[in-house]
Amino acid sequence: MSANNDLKIDLMTKLFENSTEAIFFFDRDGKSISMNPAAEKIVDPAVRKQLREGADDAICKACRGYTSSTDLQTCLDCYLNSTKPTEFASFQVYLDTEGKGVIPYAATFHTIDPEQGIRVFMLRDLTPQFETQKKLHQNLMMKHVIEAQESERKRISRELHDSVAQELLSAVIELRALKYITASQEILNKTDETKMTLTRLLDDIRNLSVELRPAALDDFGLEAAFRSHFKRTEESFGITIEFKSDIEKRRYSNEIETVFYRVCQEAVLNAIKYAGVEEVNVYLFERDNAVQLIVRDEGEGFMMGMEPLGTGLGLYGMKERAELVDGHVGIFSQPTKGTTVHLRVPMGK
C-alpha cells in the first residue's frame, strides 16, 4: 500500500513539474502557495516575485478578466472570491503574459482541500485553437466568396451567350438581308462596315463569355475545358501550348474542377506575360492518389524568395484556391531557367 502511495505521489509530482498547463495553488485568502514551471514561464517577473512571496491577489496583476455570459473580459464576481464556485469549473480567462502580451486561456478553478481551503488554478493556452478557428473561418468565408464569384460569372456568361450574343447575331442577319431590299451601293457599303463591326463585337462577347465561365468546364469537364481554353489562347497570343493529359473524360467535384481551371489559367497567363516564351507545357494527370497539374515554361524565371514581376496577387490567389480543397501549389523558378507551377489535390477530395 505504501509503495502504491509513493507511486501516486511520484506521478503527481511529475505531472506538476512537467505539465504544459500552468498550475497555481492558492489558499482560501487568495494567496499563492505554489506554482509549477509552466506557470512561472508565463507571468511577468514582478508578478512572479509577488506570487512567490504570497502577496494578496498577486495573480490580479496579470489577470485581465474572465469571459462571462455578458462580457468577453470582466472582473465582476471574480473567480478568486466568487460566491458561485461551480461556475468556474471551466471558463475562459485572459492573462498578460511575459513577452506574449494578453493571451486567452482555458481555465479551471476549484477547491481540492475543503478543510484547509486549498484551491488549484489550471490554465491551458487557447491561442493555437483560436488560430485554427480563425483559419477555418477565413477558409469558409473565402470558399463562399469564390463560390459566389463563380456563380455570378456563370450567370453573366450565360446571359451574354444566350441573350446579348443572340441579339447581335440577329442584327447581323438583318443587315445581310438589306442587300435584297436596296440597290444603293452607298447604303450597302455602310451596311457591310456595320456588319463587320458587329461581327467583331459578337466574337469579343463570345470570348468574354467563355473567359468568365467556360460552358465546357460544366458540361464536359477539365480536359475539354483546357483544350478549348488553350486553342483560344494560342489564337490570341500566337504561342504554342503543349498539353498532355491522362484523365480523359473523368469528372471531379465542381469545386475541384474550378480550382484546377483557374490555377492553370493564371499560370499560363503569367508565362505569357512575364516568361518571354513561345511555348508552354501543361500536364494534367492522376498519380500518387492525387490529381495533379504542372504548368512549365523555359523562360525568364525569377529568384525564389524575391518579389516576382507584377503584383504577386496571382500567385497568392493560386495558393489560396488550392488550400480551399486541401491542395498545395508549389512554385519553382530560377532566373533564365524558367518557372514550374505544380498543383496537387488529394483524390480523397
- What is residue 195's predicted lDDT score, i.e. its pLDDT? 81
How sure is the predictor about 309, in pLDDT bands with cuts at 50, 70 and 90?
Answer: low
- What is residue 2's predicted lDDT score, i.e. its pLDDT? 67
At CA 128, angle to CA 124 and CA 133, rounded to 5?
120
CATH of 15-125, one of 3.10.105.10, 3.40.50.300, 3.40.920.10, 3.30.450.20: 3.30.450.20
Q: What are the phi and psi torsion angles at 47 (to 5°)?
A: -70, -40
Contact call for residues 236 and 204 (beta carbons, < 8 A): no
The DSSP-derived string for 189-201 is HHHHHHHHHHHHH
How sure is the predictor about 95, in pLDDT bands with cuts at 50, 70 and 90?
Answer: very high
Residue 264 has pLDDT above 80, yes or no: yes
Tens digits of residue pLDDT in 322-343:
988 999 999 999 888 899 999 9
Exposed (0-12), middle (13-18) or buried (19+): which is 9, by Cβ within 10 Å?
Answer: exposed
Q: For residues 143-155, give the mean pLDDT.
A: 82
For residue 252, give the C-alpha cell: 471531379
Question: Which amino acid does the sequence have at 157?
Answer: S
Strand arrangement of the beta sheet that strand 328-334 belongs to = 240-245, 279-287, 290-297, 338-346, 328-334
Tell which residue, 207, 251, 248, has the closest CA to residue 227: 248
Q: Does domain 220-349 have CATH number 3.30.565.10?
A: yes
Tens digits of residue pLDDT in 18-37:
888 999 999 888 888 899 99
Residue 85 has pLDDT above 70, yes or no: no
Tell which residue, 200, 255, 276, 262, has the closest CA to residue 229: 262
Q: How far apart are the C-alpha atoms of 243 and 33, rounded to whole Å?
A: 72
Tell which residue, 224, 207, 340, has the closest CA to residue 281: 340
Tell which residue, 274, 275, 273, 264, has the closest CA to residue 298: 275
Residue 285 has pLDDT above 70, yes or no: yes
- Strand pairing report for 63-66 and 279-287: unpaired
How sure is the predictor about 188, in pLDDT bands with cuts at 50, 70 and 90?
Answer: confident
For residue 88, give the C-alpha cell: 468556474
- pTM value? 0.61
Question: Average pLDDT of the chain?
Answer: 86
Q: Please, which residues bridge with residue 150 across strands?
A: none
- The Cα-based distances of 274 to 279, 283, 299, 302, 311 in angstroms read 13, 20, 8, 10, 12
- What is residue 329's predicted lDDT score, i.e. its pLDDT? 94
- Strand pairing report for 240-245 and 118-125: unpaired
- What is residue 313's predicted lDDT score, i.e. its pLDDT? 55
Contact call for residues 312 and 289 (beta carbons, < 8 A): no
